[in-house]
Amino acid sequence: MYFHQKCGSVEYKNNLMSTKPSKSQGKRLVTIFGGGGYIGPIVARRLLNSGYIVRVVDLFLYGSQNVMLGLMDAPGFEVLNGDHANPNTVKKALMGATDVVILSGLVGDPITKKYPGVHRAVNDVGISRLIDQLDGQKLQRVIFVSTCSNYGFIRENQVADENFELKPLSLYAKAKVKAEKKLLALNGKTNFDVVILRFATAFGLAPRMRFDLTISQFVRQMALKNKLLVYDPDTWRPYCHVQDFAAVIHNALEAPNRAIKFEVFNAGGEANNYTKRMIVETILKFIPDAPIAYQDHGPDPRNYRVDFTKIRETLNFEPTYTIEDGIQELFSALKENLFPDIEHRLNFYGNYQVKYPAS
């Protein structure tokens, strides 16, 4: 991808950043590692609209480069095609940055299980090296996006707050727990503050739409009238709209230090704690004749309901989108044929295959 853009005194040619740091005239420059995925462009747009300078860094493992095109004309937007596991990329990405958001990684249990070697290089070693490079960069705040999957499996009568025992079941969640511990151990030893956000499962329309996540996968299958087999329908998960995730990150950047410094927050809302059966029943309001089957003892045993009191009381965050809102907007988009190329671009619409390092 070729482009030439100037923002402040940072100049790009052929996706290579100059060695001259940005002059943002007092504005905060947020570097978003992994900003080219499902959530990143939504976060970037919100921060740009709020007056931040935004630099997206992404390796675009799934061929999602074109999602950046909708941001290219925004004042204060920059992009760097590169790997967070590459020290030279990180060095360039941090030039002039005041804050960092870490969204990057091989995301999800299935893809990390399929590519354990890439997982180790990206999610384990790569994230650890990225964290090591952050110190001494004159950063204000580092926001690390973790996952509620860290809670693994909990009993029906329990709800997990941030102090609940972590029982990660997958390679993906285990790497997130390891990174959390590494970051929290920096308290009092570094010049920046850390905020850890344990995200619920994402849903909602986005430039890089994903149809391999529970809500969007169910809606599409049911809209196509394909028989949907739902494993372990009564297991619980929390869900959160991508627009609300952008709001969470924005709030975390704006909050006073005393409220968020080296704190962990579950990111979502109690109203969106749902079982799979509840999701299906909500979709049936829009697609009443969709064929459904249920089966117990599926391949993914995770079960967790999550307490979001802390983020509501500390960061003043309450989701604005319900699961029904997300289902309705996606059903409307599918009905209007806004995703005609799904079958031809499966890897764009889901995390299925990677080639790493990219060639």
CATH number for the domain that contains residue 261 = 3.40.50.720
For the stretch 226-280, pLDDT in tens is 999 999 999 999 999 999 999 999 999 999 989 999 999 999 999 999 999 999 9
Residue 14: band (very low, low, confident or very high) from pLDDT cuts 50, 70, 90? very low
Residue 224 covered by a domain: no
Q: Say which DSSP state 96 is in.
A: T
Residue 315 covered by a domain: yes
Residue 83 covered by a domain: yes
Q: Is the pLDDT of residue 2 over 70?
A: no
What is the number of domains present in the chain? 1
For the stretch 16-66, pLDDT in tens is 233 233 444 579 999 999 999 999 999 999 999 999 999 999 999 999 999
Inter-residue contact 253 to 28 (CB < 8 Å): yes
Segment 334-345 mean pLDDT: 95
**Mean of per-residue pLDDT scores for the chain:** 91
Residue 281 covered by a domain: no
Residue 223 covered by a domain: no
Residue 357: band (very low, low, confident or very high) from pLDDT cuts 50, 70, 90? confident
Residue 6: band (very low, low, confident or very high) from pLDDT cuts 50, 70, 90? very low
Instruction: Enter the tokens of residue 108.
Output: 């999800």
Q: Report CA torsion sign: 157, 162, 164, 167.
A: positive
Confidence (pLDDT) at 13 = 29
Residues 6+ away with beta carbon under 8 Å from 169:
149, 152, 153, 301, 302
Confidence (pLDDT) at 107 = 94
Residue 10: band (very low, low, confident or very high) from pLDDT cuts 50, 70, 90? very low
Count CB atoms within 10 A of the CB of residue 191.
Answer: 12
Residue 350 covered by a domain: no
Residue 132 covered by a domain: yes
Residue with tokens 């990180």: 90
CA distance 254 to 315: 9
Q: Is the pLDDT of residue 7 over 60?
A: no
Q: What DSSP letter does each residue of 157-177 carry, written as one string?
A: T--B-TTSPP---SHHHHHHH
Q: Is the pLDDT of residue 127 over 80?
A: yes
For the stretch 54-63, pLDDT in tens is 999 999 999 9
Query: Could you tell me the residue range of the domain that residue 195 belongs to?
Result: 4-202+241-270+302-321
Residue 358: band (very low, low, confident or very high) from pLDDT cuts 50, 70, 90? low
Residue 299: band (very low, low, confident or very high) from pLDDT cuts 50, 70, 90? confident
CA distance 217 to 341: 15
Residue 105 covered by a domain: yes
Q: Is the pLDDT of residue 108 over 50?
A: yes
Q: Is the pLDDT of residue 178 over 90?
A: yes
- Which percentage of the chain shows pLDDT scores above 90? 87
Confidence (pLDDT) at 156 = 78
Give the containing element (helix H, strand E) for 247: helix 242-254
